[in-house]
Amino acid sequence: MSRLLGGTLERVCKAVLLLCLLHFLVAVILYFDVYAQHLAFFSRFSARGPALALHPAASSSTNCSRPNATAPSSGLPEAPSVRPGPTAPILPPCPDSPPGLVGRLLIEFTSPMPLERVQRENPGVLLGGRYTPPDCTPAQTVAVIIPFRHREHHLRYWLHYMHPILRRQRLRYGIYVINQMGLLKDPLSRSLSGYSLEIHGEDTFNRAKLLNVGFLEALKEDATYDCFIFSDVDLVPMDDRNLYRCGDQPRHFAIAIDKFGFRLPYAGYFGGVSGLSKAQFLRINGFPNEYWGWGGEDDDIFNRISLTGMKISRPDIRIGRYRMIKHDRDKHNEPNPQRFTKIKNTKLTMKRDGIGSVRYQVLEVSWQPLFTNITVDIGRPPSWPPWG
């Protein structure tokens, strides 16, 4: 009995001893683990201290507020002082189908339309007619080019309707009025609601050449423009789903004008409102410069597009509807008697007559609240029949 009791006590003692050894091993392992963590924690502070010492320009004692102040040199290149500040939020891309579009619009030209009213209605438009959506990043930067002379009344209506439409389309854009032979200079005049048109010559109007000038002058102001919309000042879209953007092919927007019974007058019509990317415009060498007077230049442009292997893209006829402001034909804008001959010779003339050969003189650039006015002298038609 005593021998059995002694064996049991021996086994209990061995078990207790094993438990003690196990407890000791666990304690040792935990001790070294905690020690390693403390060692890594303090080593980060010891490594950070010398790095700060290498850049005395970052010290609060260095005088960097005055441009001419000099900081003590340590013999090492000094890193610029960077102060933390608010970072601009990263905006999402603008949607392909903007959610705020209205669709069919009621367009009328009977109510008085002072520019002050248009300006009040578009508080987000910056000086020069520039606008950028505040809530998204557009894929393109659009320059809207308007050939202009003696159309102040039309311009007021155009701005009244177009700024809200372009804003709802979530476009980053600028408006450029290319004014042939005139100076906006009298701040007391009621013309254009504060700027009068002082005429220095009444030469024949040249729509396509003015559009070439607008392309070049817009790029001088902002080299990021990659889409160009060329619009007559008397045409307003009746549906804001007719998006003023550029695509893979040149775009014809004004395909159903009320003047023509809301249908294309002929298959090759490319007049009124059109759009080309920068690359497409340069590919056709811009627009012709030798169409003085009314008519022909849009057919020449159509030929240029076809001859370079591109095709015209158009919106649905129910969306591409436009209202035209009724008016008489302008003085010095009579039909061009040479237009039919020139249209037949586009293939021969397009390489030497275009954006690379345009000649003009800028008389004045005026940044108005709703548009940029660029007054130019583009010369006068030659007294002899030009080539082509």
> Which residue is catalytic, options 11, 38, 44, 329?
329
**Residue 330 is a catalytic residue:** no
Q: Among 151, 156, 207, 232, which one carries the catalytic annotation?
A: 232
Please state the separation of Cα 81 from the chain's center in Å.
Answer: 34
Catalytic choice (239, 297, 299, 353): 297
How many helices (H) and strands (E) in the chain? 8, 12
* Active-site residue, selected from the candidate residues 55, 168, 294, 314: 294
Could you give the CA distance from residue 317 to residue 304 in angstroms, rounded to a whole number? 24
Distance CA 175, CA 374 (A): 11
Q: Would you call 324 a catalytic residue per the annotation?
A: yes
Q: With H, G, I as helix, E, B as strand and everything else as coil, classify residue 233.
A: coil
Pairing of strands 361-367, 372-377: antiparallel
Identify whether 1 is a catalytic site residue.
no
Whether 353 sits among the annotated catalytic residues: the reply is no
Q: Does the active-site annotation cover 252?
A: no
CA distance 85 to 18: 62
How many CB atoms within 10 Å of residue 276? 25
Residue from 114, 111, 109, 112 nearest 192 by CA? 114
Active site residue 202: no
217, 240, 290, 298: the catalytic one is 298
Q: Which stretches of the chain are DSSP H helices?
A: 2-53, 115-121, 152-168, 207-221, 278-283, 297-307, 339-344, 346-349
Tell me the C-alpha distance between 158 and 236, whole Å.
Answer: 6
How far apart CA 209 and CA 69 sit, in angstroms, is: 54
**Could you give the CA distance from residue 35 to residue 4 in angstroms, rounded to a whole number?**
47
Of the residues 48, 104, 263, 327, only one is catalytic, namely 327
| Active-site hit among 217, 234, 239, 299 | 234
Q: Any catalytic annotation for residue 234?
A: yes
The reply to whether 203 belongs to the active site is no
Which residue's structure tokens are 């230049």?
A: 297
| DSSP three-state, residue 6 | helix
Residues noted as catalytic: 232, 234, 294, 297-298, 324, 327, 329
